[in-house]
Structure 1
Amino acid sequence: MTLRWLRPTLSRRLIGALLLAFALFAVLILVEDQLDIQQTLATDPGVRQFGRQLAAGLEAIDDAALAARLLDANLRHINRLREQQPMFQGPLLAQLSDAEGHRLYATSPPIDVGEPGVGEHAIAGKTYWTYRQDSPRWSLRLAEPALSRASLLGFASWELGKQLLLGFPLMLLPLWVAVHTGLAPLRRFARRLHELELKQDLAPLDVDFRYGELRPLGQAFDALLQRLRQHRARERAFVHEAAHELRTPLAVVATQAHALVQADDAASRAQAAAALQQAIQRSAHLSRQLLDLASLDNDRPAVPAALDLAHFCADRLAEQAAAARGRGIALALAAPEQMPVRVDAAALHSVLQNLLDNALRYVGPGGRVEVSLQLAPDGPRLGVADDGPGIAPADRPLVFERFWRGASHDVQGTGLGLAIVARAAERLGARVTVGDGLARPDGHGARFELHLPASALGVP
């Protein structure tokens, strides 16, 4: 229970901040009172006020004995009042003399003040605030024990503290109510999120955010839920389509394996073995592409590495050279000698490898595939063009969809290569465009171009 109350909460933080503001305000009042007291003591101290009042009362009296008795009566009354106040450090002293300097009344110790007006003197080893006023009849002198700054500060703090303690409960209750009601929309928001968790639902929050402070938070959560819904829908479609695509080659594998076992002669066995090998290769290729796509869909951050893009393209073409020669396809590279960049090498490899595989798959014997590399004002551009059948303009917006395959040809494929290219381009912070390729009499060809950002340029 103790640890629970020690946990940080927004309510405690807000109340603490407001109480701190309350304390700072109290300190400000205390400082202001202290400055006012010091200003009053410097300009119009209490001893001078008493002196003026007493002098005014004595001015109308001619009899010396009566003046002394009046002063004594007033002094006794004032000192009785002072005894009831803990602030005062001692009695008020007074001394009255006539015009000739004869002392008519005096308390002990005597007050030795030379100049009229307010002053500060040591009397019997103690500091007093003094006041002297001379008139044609009387000379009045008063002395009040001086208060130290610490005493004044302590008295002012005590008086202010009593007032604040009395007002604190009256302030704390509306303060707690204000904080509690002010955070109520946030608690409703938390309950709504908890309901979504219990229902395993990614529906919009459907919360009325009337307060400007909570509206950005609600919008951010709704945007996050929208992305999660899209991601989940994409994953479900991917799993469904992947299962459908894997079903066909696996069925072929099972069929050809059965035919291979049941074959009666060598020719039948060779035919079944070849078909089985082709189905296994297609299944392996599809599995590899699915793994590549899953790896690119991972949310882990890209890891840029320094490399020479021109040499990188040359190495990928060298890897495809044997397969291209076997089909009579010419490979070409149009690139500068060097182009240093800093990119995610794995994502770049996925882009170029799948574009080359796609081009070699659709280009017929005697065809041509060209890789080009140039530095545009907005950054490096990597192009892969061929002189194959090309892609119809109406189909070009669909080519990067998963498992989409055009219907105008009979080339076998998985429909994942260009989807991998699009996802890898996102990881590179780039974009991919598709257009016409290397034209020839029987087709327009296709050209895919990767537009890398200018920030990708770097020193290998």
Structure 2
Amino acid sequence: MNSIRIRLFIILLLATGVVWFSAFFWIQQSTRAEVERVLDARLAESGQMVSSLISDRRIDVARGATLVEDQSPHTSGPTAGYSHKLSCQIWSLDGELVGKSGSAPTDSLSGQEPGFSDSLVEGEEWRVYTVINEELGVRVMVGDSHSVRDRLVRDVTTGLVLPALMILPVLAGLIWLSVRSGLRPLDRLAGGLSQRTADDLSAVDEIAMPREIRPVGAALNGLFARVNAQREREKAFTSFAAHELKTPLAGIKTQAQIASMAPDAATRKTALAHIQKGIGRTDRMVRQLLSLAALDGPEVGTTQEVDLSVLIRDVVQDLSRLAAAKNVAISVPDPSPLSVQTDPTLLSVALRNVVENAIAAAPESSEVSILSESTTDSIAISVLDRGPGIAEADRSRITDRFFRGPDASGEGSGLGLAIVETAIKRLGGQLQFAARAGGGEVVRLEVPPSMTCMTRRVYGKADD
């Protein structure tokens, strides 16, 4: 059952029913006790009255039993069932029946003890009050049938139940109207949200909501804020990507026109070299955009055991042509095998972009070093270069998307380190930057111990 309204209605109706039936049971029991008390008092008064009258010689002992019957109401209509039901017997102390009322059985109503008692006479249960008159030597017994008492209690409770049963539908209707009224703020909230356009991410008014619904409003406002921030990031991403792709494409188009109109082979060769360079930059940017889009999506990849030395070797091999074009050597000291429990795709993407940035920043005929180590606290891969390093003013923004410092070369797109940070965060690790002694930069990728096999091994040791 998915409807809150129906669920609340049923819960309230059941709760009301439980209370109602509990009250009915209590009324029934209390009514029975009160009826028993009143009828017992009636029996005692009748018994004492008969004993007193025959003691005062106001009536013959034999006729004393009929006095109780004469005092019973002779009525018609709804109370007719209670007429002539009070019975009386007068027994001598020797056990001889002296007199009885017409409705009384012939067998003794009770035993020998005075006071109240319950007995079974001729298959019917009786409530009896016994008075012993020592002066006259008789025992007066006055009783009424339990069936009469039960009928009286049943009629009283029925008189209470029937009106209550007639009220139940009215009560159910009132509960339904109350539930509808109580849930009306949710209906208004749902109606307001359904009328919004896809671009309307403004906050809902929490103050106007009832206190119980304010957490829903706060959660919706938080969701709207996150969606709006994500949409702004996507818009900025699209705008920056279009701008960054437009520049190399315009350059390629210009160089293609120059090559087509070149008056000599040297000019044509130069134009083709520029075209090749622009295509390479565009290709790198497209790859970076695809990587960033994949990392921004749902969780990808699976954790598995990876030989870190093999992963580093594959990255170095992929970038060997780029390094050779700049006459930059890539050094991986002591590539000892090390098993790592991690996501190979994310770690490879992060390491590739760091090494690619290091090659781009490194001067010609220099070296880029990749050092790896595993400790009880973390596993770390450090990439060291001898480039100009990162300016202190740019360090807080170096991982922003499309950010390029004022001293950056025209080759980069400002996406590499943003990709690295996103991938490392997916791995639950950290990305750290530090200036290298003697010039250059050290970029350190750390993965938490929970994703590594705790094998202590050092690939290489930094020289500074």
Compute the TM-score of the two structures, normalised by the length of structure 1: 0.83
Deviations 1:396-439 (A, max 9, x none): 111111111122243511111111112222322333222213x3
2:6 is aligned to 12
Q: Could you tell me how far apart the structure 2 residues matched to 1:148 and 1:279 are?
A: 110
Q: Name whichever of 129-138 and 141-150 sits farther off.
A: 141-150
Q: Post-superposition shift, 1:173?
A: 5.7
Instruction: Tell me whether 1:449 sits opposite 2:441 in the alignment.
Output: no
Q: Could you tell me how far apart the structure 2 residues matched to 1:334 and 1:292 are?
A: 30
- Taking only aligned residues, the RMSD between alpha carbons, in angstroms, comes to 3.6
Residues 380, 459 of structure 1: CA spacing in aligned structure 2 closer, same or farther, 3 A cutoff? closer
User: What SS does the aligned partner of 1:135 have?
Assistant: strand
2:224 is aligned to 225
Q: Is the 8 A contact 1:334 1:371 kept in 2?
A: no
1:194 is aligned to 194
Percent sequence identity is: 27
1:52 is aligned to 44
1:338 is aligned to 338
1:373 is aligned to 372
Q: Could you tell me how far apart the structure 1 residues matched to 2:153 and 2:65 are?
A: 36
Q: Could you tell me how far apart the structure 1 residues matched to 2:345 and 2:157 are?
A: 71
User: What SS does the aligned partner of 2:363 have?
Assistant: coil
Instruction: Tell me whether 1:131 sits opposite 2:123 in the alignment.
Output: no
Q: Is the 8 A contact 1:330 1:366 kept in 2?
A: no
Q: Could you tell me how far apart the structure 1 residues matched to 2:140 and 2:311 are?
A: 108
Residues 433, 459 of structure 1: CA spacing in aligned structure 2 closer, same or farther, 3 A cutoff? closer
* Corresponding letter in the other structure for 1:181: S
Deviations 1:359-414 (A, max 9, x none): 11111123232333334565333332222110011101111111111222435111
Q: Could you tell me how far apart the structure 2 residues matched to 1:78 and 1:385 are?
A: 115
Q: Could you tell me how far apart the structure 2 residues matched to 1:349 and 1:364 are?
A: 24
Q: Is the 8 A contact 2:51 2:131 kept in 1?
A: no
User: What SS does the aligned partner of 1:373 have?
Assistant: strand
User: What SS does the aligned partner of 2:197 have?
Assistant: helix
- The 5-angstrom pairing of residues 16-415 of structure 1 reads 16-33=10-27, 36=30, 48-62=40-54, 63=59, 64=61, 67-77=64-74, 83-84=80-81, 91-97=85-91, 101-106=96-101, 107-112=103-108, 113-116=110-113, 117-124=115-122, 126-136=123-133, 137=136, 138-146=138-146, 158-159=158-159, 161-168=161-168, 171-172=171-172, 175-195=175-195, 197-198=196-197, 200-300=199-299, 303-321=302-320, 323-324=322-323, 327-333=327-333, 337-341=337-341, 343-375=342-374, 378-415=377-414
Q: Is the 8 A contact 1:296 1:423 kept in 2?
A: yes
Q: Post-superposition shift, 1:230?
A: 0.9
* Corresponding letter in the other structure for 1:457: T
Q: Is the 8 A contact 1:94 1:140 kept in 2?
A: yes
Q: Post-superposition shift, 1:74?
A: 2.5
Q: Is the 8 A contact 2:429 2:447 kept in 1?
A: yes
Residues 249, 31 of structure 1: CA spacing in aligned structure 2 closer, same or farther, 3 A cutoff? same
Residues 409, 298 of structure 1: CA spacing in aligned structure 2 closer, same or farther, 3 A cutoff? closer
Q: Could you tell me how far apart the structure 1 residues matched to 2:150 and 2:377 are?
A: 73
Q: Could you tell me how far apart the structure 2 residues matched to 1:218 and 1:394 are?
A: 41
Q: Could you tell me how far apart the structure 2 residues matched to 1:30 and 1:156 are?
A: 11
* Corresponding letter in the other structure for 2:338: Q
Q: Number of aligned pairs?
A: 442
- The 5-angstrom pairing of residues 421-440 of structure 1 reads 421-437=420-436, 439-440=437-438
Instruction: List runs of 5+ in structure 2 lacking aligned partners.
Output: 456-464
Instruction: Tell me whether 1:417 sits opposite 2:409 in the alignment.
Output: no
Q: Is the 8 A contact 1:82 1:91 kept in 2?
A: no
Q: Post-superposition shift, 1:190?
A: 1.8
Residues 455, 72 of structure 1: CA spacing in aligned structure 2 closer, same or farther, 3 A cutoff? same
Instruction: List runs of 5+ in structure 1 lacking aligned partners.
Output: 1-6
Compute the TM-score of the two structures, normalised by the length of structure 2: 0.82
Residues 130, 205 of structure 1: CA spacing in aligned structure 2 closer, same or farther, 3 A cutoff? closer
Q: Is the 8 A contact 1:334 1:373 kept in 2?
A: no
